[in-house]
Structure 1
Amino acid sequence: MSHTLNIKTAGAPLRQAKKALIMVHGRGGSAQDILNLSQHLNVKDYAVLAPQALNHTWYPYSFMAPVDQNEPWLSSALEMVEETVKAALDAGIASEDIYFFGFSQGACLTLEFLTRNAQKFGGAAAIIGGVIGDKINRENYKGDFAGTPVFLATSNPDFHVPVERVYATANILREMNAEVTEKVYANFGHSINQEEIELANSIVFK
């Protein structure tokens, strides 16, 4: 089973925009749901792109499951993010002007893609997510973020994402020269709050 490239769009037309935001929805969500969130971000001049997962799920099991259990869906999902980035690059947008926003399963997928393809991006906000796998395979993560700002936020506890994995992900990002900001909310629950939006705007979407 694999995903088919299906990119929903909002904001400025891709060929006219100088910046692009790639938004990755969570399990059970949709590209349109997360595109609606872009109205609250400082991205009014950006082209906003959101790939849609087949059956609203990027991979079937927990992101903490052994990677093999989530294949071939995981590899296909990573390819969908890569193809969305390629659409922005092909439209003439430089990698340092490409931004990311992911929530929950979409945050995990975003972080896994970024750490496997580290370079100077515009920035990323990942709400409740971490790199994928029962064990962290550091050999998968290559490149240099060259100061790319990354905002990680989560609730502690969160039923899907242990806070320890968020911290471990932050450490990997820092090792790869990202400028990481973390924010942990006690007992907030599995959702996005207003402060996270404001912090994403001040740290990433300046």
Structure 2
Amino acid sequence: MEVKKHSKQVVTDGLPLASAEKVMILVHGRGASADSILTLKDHLLVDGFALLAPQATNHTWYPYSFMAPVEQNEPWLSSAIELLESLVEDCLKAGIKREHIHLLGFSQGACLTLEFAARTASRYGSVTAFTGGLIGEKIDRSNYKRKFEETPVFIGCSDRDMHVPVERVYASTNILTEMGARVTEKIYPGMGHTINEDEINIVNQQLSGSGKDK
């Protein structure tokens, strides 16, 4: 019988959760793995962080495009959101403040990260979406009832990504801004489906709480 939800498999790195004051939850893309997204630690200013990378069942958070009707991606989507919520709860129980919890994802993981963050909006440390947008055939604004309280958010994407239309990036930025996030959006001409150095620099500025390059 096909499994209809994600099991809680989490790869960790950095400091143990019990002794860290900051945490980053890193969400991998379709077909990738927790181990692969954790390689970003070599490029990010995450010394002193606990790093948590959940693993999607069958390496996929939901089966269809993030712009398919939501019901086509259920129950996988709800299960993925519940998994991220459980990780945030683990951090809070360990004594880490929500404003010291940073969320980051790439591609399918970026879409999931943005959707989770918008549904649970509060003052997070930061939210990073490398190539992603809010989920749904049409964005359901009624899912987002809370405020971000000035959380810094970064969304980066190519101007012609094969999976994420730039119009969805613009729409997501507008909604998150309305919700009180401080959104930095960068659209890169012809970048391809990847992460570039400029994006890493912007995220490191957010992580350091500084407007200066590190």
TM range (shorter): over 0.9
Distance 1:64 1:205, change over 3 A: farther
Displacement after TM superposition at 1:205 (Å): 4.3
Distance 1:141 1:126 in 2: 17
Q: List gaps (5 residues or longer) in structure 2.
A: 210-214
Contact 1:11 1:47 in 2 (8 A): yes
Distance 1:66 1:205, change over 3 A: farther
Which residue matches 1:73? 76
SS at match of 1:172: helix
Q: List gaps (5 residues or longer) in structure 1.
A: none
Letter in 1 for 2:14: G
Q: CA RMSD in A?
A: 0.8
Alignment partner of 1:179 is 2:194: no
Q: TM-score, normalised by structure 2?
A: 0.94
Alignment partner of 1:33 is 2:68: no
Displacement after TM superposition at 1:65 (Å): 0.2
Contact 2:45 2:207 in 1 (8 A): no
Distance 1:61 1:205 in 2: 36
Give the length in aligned residue pairs.
206
Which residue matches 1:190? 193
User: What percent identity do the matched residue pairs reach?
Assistant: 57
Distance 2:42 2:13 in 1: 9
SS at match of 1:2: coil
Which stretch of structure 1 is more off in the superposition, 57-66 or 77-86? 77-86
Alignment partner of 1:143 is 2:143: no
Distance 2:206 2:52 in 1: 20
Contact 1:24 1:50 in 2 (8 A): yes
**Correspondence for 2:162 among 151, 159, 183:** 159
Letter in 2 for 1:59: Y
SS at match of 2:19: coil
Alignment partner of 1:59 is 2:62: yes
Moved over 3 A (4+): none
Distance 2:208 2:64 in 1: 31
Q: TM-score, normalised by structure 1?
A: 0.98
Distance 2:46 2:60 in 1: 26
Alignment partner of 1:127 is 2:116: no
Which residue matches 2:212? none
Letter in 2 for 1:106: G
SS at match of 1:42: coil
Alignment partner of 1:50 is 2:57: no
Which residue matches 1:98? 101
Displacement after TM superposition at 1:204 (Å): 3.7
